[in-house]
Amino acid sequence: MNEKDTHYCVTYRDPKDAKNVQLKAKTIKDSNLGLSFIFISDFIFSSGANSKIIDPNEEKLKNSLKETKGLHLSIYSVIMIEEIGNNHNGLHFEKDKGKILVLPSDNGQHL
């Protein structure tokens, strides 16, 4: 991978074992599962065939994702998304509802 290529480093809490996982990927977009999910694909693993250094955690993740096309992660399990590279344009979602106005509650009083 070229140093100028943009990619994402996603840190999330794995629901299977409740451990924090760091995953590198080229693509993050809306998930077709709904608004509270993101889709991560095109995984990047730095310990390739030519690498002399092997990270056991990365190898474990690589093996667990070897037949996975992409991950649909709940936004509630995502801790951080870091965009890396010189040509980044920011992360934009088509179904972003960030402009929704949430009115304050009326202290539990019902009409």
Mean pLDDT by 10 residues, the chain (111 residues): 74 90 92 89 79 80 91 93 76 56 56 47
For the chain, what are the domain ranges? 7-84
Residue 103's pLDDT is what? Answer: 57
Fill in the DSSP letter of residue 96. -
Residue 69's pLDDT is what? Answer: 94
Residue 57's pLDDT is what? Answer: 84
Residue 40's pLDDT is what? Answer: 95
Exposure pattern of 73-109 as b/e (b: 16+ CB <10 Å)?
beeebbeebeeeeeeeeeeeeeeeeeeeeeeeeeeee
Residue 111's pLDDT is what? Answer: 47
Among residues 46, 49, 39, 51, the alpha carbon closest in space to that of 10 is found at 39
pTM: 0.69
